[in-house]
Amino acid sequence: MTLELLEKMTDEELQLVYARATELLKARDAERKKKAVADARALKEKAQADARALLATVGLSLKAVAPKKRRAARVKHGGANDNAPAVNNVGKAG
């Protein structure tokens, strides 16, 4: 498609071309994202396999060197706001 051909088109034809071009761009973008996710997963799996192999050479496992998961902090249930500053009105003239 040349610029001359586009210039000769009616507004309706241009709108159809624009709509189709937008559809194609969205589809290509979705394919690129899908490929990027697949590539990232493959890279992660390779890195984990390499790490396992390296650790195995010294007699360790990935689980042995992975940080322990922390439990969620306990939440206090009470009426007071623990973050509010304490107010002491003792000894102040009012």
Cβ atoms within 10 Å of 32's Cβ, excluding its own: 10
CA dist., res. 78 & res. 74, Å (int): 13
Whole domain around residue 51: which residue ranges?
Answer: 30-56
pTM of the predicted model as reported, rounded to 2 decimal places:
0.53
Note whether residue 46 is domain-resident: yes
Give pLDDT tens digits for 29-78.
999 999 999 999 999 999 999 999 999 999 988 888 888 777 777 777 76
Note whether residue 85 is domain-resident: no
Note whether residue 15 is domain-resident: no
Tally of domains within the chain: 1
Note whether residue 63 is domain-resident: no
